[in-house]
Amino acid sequence: MCTRDAAARQLEEWSKNNQDKVGYARNSAGVAIVNPATSLTIGKHGLIPLRDWQLVERLGHFHRERIPERIVHAKGAGAFGEFICTRDLSKYTSSKVFQLSNKTPIAVRFSTVAGNMGSADTVRDPRGFAIKFYTEEGIWDLVGNNTPIFFMKDPILFPMFIHSQKRNPVTNLRDWDAFWDYLSLTPMSVHQVMILFSDRGIPDGFRHQHGFGSHTFSLINGDRKLTWCKFIYKTNQGIKNLDPATAEKLAGSDPDYAARDLYNAIAEAGEKSKSYPSWTMYVQLMTPEQAKKSKFDPFDITKVWPHGEFPLIEVGKFVLNSNPTNYFSQIEQLAFSPNNLTPGIGDSPDRLLQGRMFSYQDAHRYRLGANFQQLPVNRPPNGVANFDRDGVMCIFSQQGAPNYYPNSFGGPNADPEAATWTPPPQHFDGYENYYPEYYEEDNFSQPRVFWERVLNEGAKKSLVENLANSIKCANRSIQKRAVEVFTKVSEDLGTKLRKKLNQNDRIVHL
Ligand code: NDP
Ligand code: HEM
């Protein structure tokens, strides 16, 4: 990519602002470096002695520059900004984030899902859209996507689903048989698949897409009253998508297209007084009584809450106004955990959310180490007072406070206020068992509405084309099964898809 945009001029900018301030080179112990680009040698053409500590340190650090990439969502970009609350939600939540006019600093990371760290930004894939709120009550992580729903409703399926989307362990290539085999065998994924293969499946960069917390969460007010809640963030830049041909071209000519666009949009907004990228935040609310009477399972992440019944309520806006100053320390080391919920915001019986509440912190401990929460970008602004100590890269002391509880030395105690914002006692009933029939609950009625009511003729045509262009790469029996699933959504969709696939000369007839 050969332009002189803000991203390309980063070094020039740094030079302009810093050249006069830069001191002499010093090593990581702060000691002056004699010659940054020459090894110590015994004679002009001689050997390098081990005491060339500068060389040893340079190579030693270099060997450790890479850490494991995220098992999913490895390729991404991020930025910083703030969330401003525009509607007081104290009727529903005690969270300070939702007190009128409160401003909360945030970090956002966007990502693709299946590709490795160096993969192209312009592929058809959901986009991760994760927000870290640095609240005065601790870290709240809203780890969402650009789609309101997901491929599955049971966390035990996640590793299997991801295996089918990532590289085949023999060929080390993406495998279209595995991709469509898994999806066509799990009809609960069809809603998400239809959104993914619609025009919105390849957003134009990260700025022109909506975001969704996707799960059902709970809001808890000062009287411990609970309301179920969905979080939605709509782009103020307008929806813009890439057509598949342009996306494919960009994957070759500018694989970092979305990251570049985000960096430039923020840098140039600062420079040229253009607007910073921003999103308007909404909630949908459902009382526990409504949930009990609901025709669909409100905790099933493969389903949306229809807007007609549960209207969007505008609650705030967030703006991204600052690029990272070091990608690795501030974005690669960002660690989002769906279990990071602050007072007034809680989880729900959404099974997938329950699974995610374990998964992420475990992944961070592997990827970043036991003390990942001590990294500046993950640290809560209100401090930590707990009983965990030590471990790799432990940075903070807790000022000599006891590391056990109970103790008789005045160590930190439970906050008496906590009783006012913890969720009310919840009653769960039922027999412990495996319930695979849950997977079959009403997988088609919402996708049918999407096909029949939401998509216009043009959008239907692209969905069929996009599906056919991908399904045609799988073997014939998988193609057949996939068509059968889409036919259960709608005869019309199934017929159009079959017809499109039959136009492809690789196959005889479905
Ligand atoms: P509405 O007509 O009120 O909403 C339809 C929604 O679909 C709008 O939010 C619209 O977004 C969004 N949309 C339009 N095209 C696409 C696309 N290609 N991919 C993803 N979303 C798209 O209907 P209901 O709330 O009754 O929902 C009907 C169906 O719409 C659902 O079954 C679901 O498939 C889909 N949908 C529903 C959402 C929800 O939370 N209720 C959210 C997204 C999709 P926009 O406003 O930007 O045009
Ligand atoms: C990243 C697991 C479902 C959004 C990750 C990571 C894991 C994971 C292990 C990597 C974490 C890291 O190393 O930093 C799971 C499991 C799921 C699930 C087990 C289902 C049971 C979802 C859903 C969404 C989602 C439903 C969105 C609604 C994300 C995002 C990231 C991510 C945005 C990247 C966060 C970042 O930018 O660092 N997921 N995931 N995931 N996941 Fe999930």
Cβ atoms of 257 and 121 within 8 Å: the answer is: yes
Ligand 2 proximity of 286 Cβ (cutoff 6 Å): no
**Cα(491)–Cα(162) distance, rounded to whole angstroms?**
29
What class, spelled out in words, does domain 444-502 have in CATH? mainly alpha
The pLDDT tens digits of the residues spanning 406-455 come to: 999 999 999 988 877 788 888 889 999 999 999 999 999 999 999 999 99
Instruction: Count Cα atoms within 13 angstroms, Cβ side, for 221.
Output: 13
Catalytic residues: 73, 145
Chain segment 174-219, per-residue pLDDT in tens: 999 999 999 999 999 999 999 999 999 999 999 999 999 999 999 9
Q: Euclidean distance between the first and final Cα of the chain, in Å? A: 43
For the Cβ of 306 lying below 6 angstroms from any atom of ligand 1, the answer is: yes
Best mutation site among 359, 361, 372 for ligand 2 pocket (most ligand atoms within 8 Å of CB): 359
- For residue 271, the model assigns a pLDDT of 78
Q: Does 233 belong to an annotated binding site?
A: no
Please report, rounded to a whole number, the percentage of residues in the chain having pLDDT higher than 90: 91
Choose the weakest-confidence range: 102-116, 224-238, 270-284, 322-336.
270-284
Is the per-residue pLDDT at 504 higher than 90?
Answer: no
Ligand 1 pocket residue status of 195, Cβ below 6 Å: yes
Q: Which atom of ligand 1 is nearest to the CA of 234?
A: 47
Which residue puts its alpha carbon closest to atom 10 of ligand 2?
A: 70
What does the alpha-carbon distance between residue 383 and residue 308 come to, in Å, rounded to a whole number?
42
Helices and strands, counts by H and E, the chain: 15, 10
Q: Where are the alpha helices (DSSP H) in 390-490?
A: 418-421, 445-449, 457-471, 476-489
pTM of the model: 0.96
Q: Which ligand is nearest to the CA of 240?
A: 1
Among 454, 460, 490, residue to substitute to test ligand 1 (most atoms within 8 Å of Cβ): 454
Q: Whose CA is nearest to atom 39 of ligand 2?
A: 72
Ligand nearest to the CA of 466: 1
Ligand closest to CA 215: 2
Q: In the structure, what pLDDT confidence band is assigned to residue 507 with cuts at 50, 70 and 90?
A: low
Are 76-150+203-385 and 444-502 equal in CATH topology? no
Give me the residue spans of the domains in the chain. 28-65, 76-150+203-385, 444-502
Q: How confident is the model at residue 506 (pLDDT cuts 50, 70, 90)?
A: low
Q: Nearest C-alpha to atom 16 of ligand 2 is from which residue?
A: 356
**DSSP-derived secondary structure for 254-318:** -TTHHHHHHHHHHHHHHHH-PPPPEEEEEEEEE-HHHHHH-SS-TT-TTS---TTTS--EEEEEE
**CB 71 less than 6 A from any atom of ligand 2:** yes
d(CA 153, ligand 2 centre) in Å: 14
Architecture of domain 76-150+203-385: Beta Barrel (2.40)
Kindly tell me if the per-residue pLDDT of 1 is higher than 90: no
Measured from the CB, is residue 231 less than 6 Å from ligand 2?
no
Q: Which ipTM did the prediction report?
A: 0.98
Protein residue closest via CA to atom 27 of ligand 1: 306
Give residue 156 CA to ligand 1 midpoint distance, Å: 28
Tell me how far the alpha carbon of residue 415 lies from the centroid of ligand 2, in angstroms.
31
